[in-house]
Each structure stands twice: as C-alpha cells, then as structure tokens.
A and B are shown apart, each in its own frame.
Chain A
Amino acid sequence: MTEPTPVNLITGFLGSGKTSLLQRLLSDPALADTAVLINEFGEVGLDHHLLERIDDTMVLLQSGCLCCTIRGELSAAIKDLHSKRERGIVPAFRRLVVESTGLADPFPILSTVQADPVLKHHFRLGNVITTVDAVNGEAQLARRAESVKQIAVADRLVLTKTDLAEAGAVDALVAHIRRLNPAAPLWRAAEGSLEAEALLSHDLFALAGKSDQARRWFAAEVDAQPTHHHDHEGNRHDANRHGNSIHAFSLTFDGALDWTMFGIWLSMLLHRHGPAVLRVKGILNVAGSATPVAVHGVQHLVHPPIHMAAWPDGDRRSRLVFIVDGLGRELIERSLMAFLRFTAPVKTAAVA
C-alpha cells in the first residue's frame, strides 16, 4: 500500500495572512510537489490573485464557506485531484495543502479528510497551521468564536504582522494564545525565516519513523506546561462563549495504562463532550508495548493512534494535554483515573 498523502490545513481569521504564508511556504523547494486547494469566500477571488504558484494542481472552490456548504465539495475536489494524479494528468504531488476561509470552523474540514470512505485510504491529516494577526488578533479572539477554535485546534501557530503591532500588545496576545493552546510551536512570520518542513512535515505520523529530532519535538510539545488558571474552574458559568471558558491543562501519570479501558473512556468522553474537547494530544505508556503510543484528537475526531518507534527521552510517564471548553480539569482527571483503576493501579502526579 502506498503511503497516504498528508493533508495540511491552513486556517486563520480573515486577513490574518494565510495566503501570504502559503505563498512563502510554497516557494520552499522542499515543498515543490505540493498541491493546493484554496477556498474562495466572496465574489472576487482576491486571495487567488495573490498566489504566485497557480498550476494544474490547484482547484478553486467557488461556492463560499467551506465550513457549511463544501464538505461534499471539498471531498469531491480532493478525489478529483487524486484521480488526476493517478491518471498522470497532474504531477504526482506528495502533499496537499487546503487553505480554508477565515470564517471556517476547521473541524468539518478535518472530518472530511478522515471520515470520507474513499479519501481515508489515500490521504491522512497532517498539521493544522493557524495564522493569527498580531494587530487584530486580540479583537478577533474577543468577538469571534471561530477565531478561538482555529487557535485551539492548531498544531502550528504563525503570528503575522508583528512588525506592525506594538510589542506590549503582541506579548499580551501571545499570552492569550498560550492559554488557548500552550503546546503548539509558534513562529513570528515577520521576524525571521519559516521552516516549511517544521510547519508542514513534522507531524504525528512522521514521527512514528526514525527521526529522533521529530520525537523530541513532539515530546517538547506535550510537555509544554499550560498556564493554569484556577479562576476558570471556579467561574466557568461567568465565562463568555468566545473563549474565556477555553483552557488547557496536562495530566501526567506513572505506570503502564490499559489501552482497552483508555479507549472506552476516551470514546465515552468524546461522545458526550466532543464539541467541548477541542484538542487532546499525548504520549501514552501502554501496558504490553515497549514503545509509546501517541494519541491526537480534535473534538469527535481521533487520529489513528501512532506507535512510536522509541521513547523520546528517559521519561516513561504517560502525558496527556487537553484543550477544553468549559470542562474542569479535576473531573476529567478523576474520571480517567477511576476508569483506569479497574484495570491497573495507576499513580498520578499532578501537573499544571
């Protein structure tokens, strides 16, 4: 079976620099064999004209917002690309980048790639890259729920227009972003080079291979200590729906866990609270497995678990990072431990 083609999603609020980022990334020779799908919002495809690299592998989706109307169209567009590639009509691209509209909820796009009965055999999800406008980001976070969600689901964050914003405002925005998503590596697009490989290619699936560097990278993400705000726990009902109720935390526990019971717990949690679990990501020490298992989920959607080739470092504890909307850390931890205690004694170590 041939390797599934990774699909990267570039998301970010309107005007946050998605297309400029795409333009920069595509000029990198490492990404020469990348196909691009962009979505047109509005009547004039302005974004389209800003792109330099327009070739036969680009398909324009003309009918508005990806999040609600183009689930089927996105699926059809990717299938069409796949079909053309197999027939040799377009170059044999090895990566697909989808640029969403600024108003899109990223979840249906991810779901389309992973759940479509045809696509799931030929494509896999890669990193979600979210651009955040340093000038307007704070205002968008305050007003637009989509903007909060786009940051929470990101695997990679790119802060744009930092050269136009005041340093203090940028720091405050970064602090806000870190509360929503403490783990994703963050780049400042205006202040240096962007590593296309690191943004697009270093993903969960790739690190199942032999790259020690990639494994260490992932471990660093999972180990990033979320800023813990106890006030969120106490004042959840006062939090407004545009983000104050979203927070991140990590759980760390000793000992090998039972994979079957973990699956039952996580599937039950996501069934009941899926929309509120914006991200779950972690490395697990699974009983019976010498090397760790990486899990990664966005709302109802959980990626196929990755069996890593080796532990990234000497730490053999299981680590899970959650980004949740309105759910309490204590209850989630207590629930997971209660489930797992049925199968093996697991000792927790409080983190964050």
Chain B
Amino acid sequence: MCALCGVLAGSEHWTDAVARPGVFTRNTDAWQRRQERTNRVACASRVLGFYGLTLSDWQGTSFVLSTATGKTELVDNLSHLWSSAEKLLGRPCDPLDPALIARLETDAPGGTR
C-alpha cells in the first residue's frame, strides 16, 4: 500500500528490495529469504512485546500479527506492520516513546534488569 495515499498498489518495501546489481538486500534466494524472515520475526517480536503483540511467519509469504486476546491481522511487510499494529492497539506505536525506549534499554542483553 502506498504510504502517501493509501492506494493499494505493488509496493516494494526497501527492506525487501528486489535483488539487482548494486542493491543491498537479503531477498536473494530462498534460504536467505527464510533466514531474514525468521530474524525479522524475532527482532520485531522484541519490540512488539512492549505492546503485548506477537508476530509470526505465515507460509513464508506474510506475517500474522496478534494481540493477547486473539485479534489478528495479516501483514505483508514492515510498512504494513506498524499500521496494522496501531489498528489493533488503537494507539500509536512510536519508536521515540520514552517508555518504549526505557523498556528496551532495561531488557537488552547487558541492560539494567
């Protein structure tokens, strides 16, 4: 979906850029793609945990985003992830939210907790 106008159109997210000369992407072969999806689920889940959301891979093509009470959204890529998360939560997901940053800082390896 176009971030600008909301039009549903083929949107290649920069983190899934099509492999071509000069472009850095992990969207190169099946193994790399799966590996990156696994990493992405793991990394995103650490952040989404703050909001009580979980993310899992769905058939290697989409992601399933769920709340603790089972509300679920299918998301295609990272740009959809945050709008879907906000829709499920009914509030913004802001990486500059001091409460989120504080939680990440204390939970990180070598953090204060």
Contact = CB atoms under 8 A, between A and B. Distances in A.
A interacts with B: yes
Contact of A264 (B10, B47, B98, B105): B47
A60 B95 CA distance: 43
Interface in B58-86: 78-79, 81-83
A114 B94 CA distance: 26
Nearest to A268: B95
B96 A269 contact: yes
A258 B47 CA distance: 15
B22 interface: yes
Given A261-B43, A263-B78, A264-B44, A338 B2 contact: no
Contact of B15 (A115, A263, A271, A306): A263
Given A115-B9, A271-B82, A341-B108, A303 B14 contact: yes
Given A115-B9, A264-B47, A335 B96 contact: yes
Contacts of B96: 269, 272-273, 327, 331-332, 335
Given A300-B4, A306-B22, A327-B96, A271 B83 contact: yes
A224 to B, nearest CB: 23
Contacts of B95: 265, 268-269, 272, 335, 339
A63 interface: no
**Range, interface on chain B:** 35 or more
Interface in A286-326: 286, 289, 293, 297, 300-307
Interface string A227-253: 000000000000000000000000000
A304 B93 contact: no
B87 interface: no
A209 B23 CA distance: 11
B17 A260 contact: no
A301 B23 CA distance: 16
Given A115-B9, A258-B43, A300-B3, A338 B105 contact: yes
A82 B30 CA distance: 33
Contact of A117 (B4, B10, B93, B108): B10
A264 B95 CA distance: 10
Interface in A98-129: 107-108, 111, 115-117, 120
B78 A264 contact: yes
Contact of B2 (A1, A111, A271): A111
B13 A267 contact: yes
B56 to A, nearest CB: 15
B93 A272 contact: yes
17 contacts: A115-B9, A117-B9, A120-B12, A261-B43, A267-B15, A270-B3, A273-B96, A286-B24, A304-B17, A305-B23, A306-B22, A331-B96, A335-B95, A335-B100, A339-B104, A342-B107, A345-B109
Ranked nearest first, the 6 interchain pairs of A and B with the lowest CB-CB distance are A208-B22, A307-B24, A271-B82, A338-B104, A304-B17, A267-B78
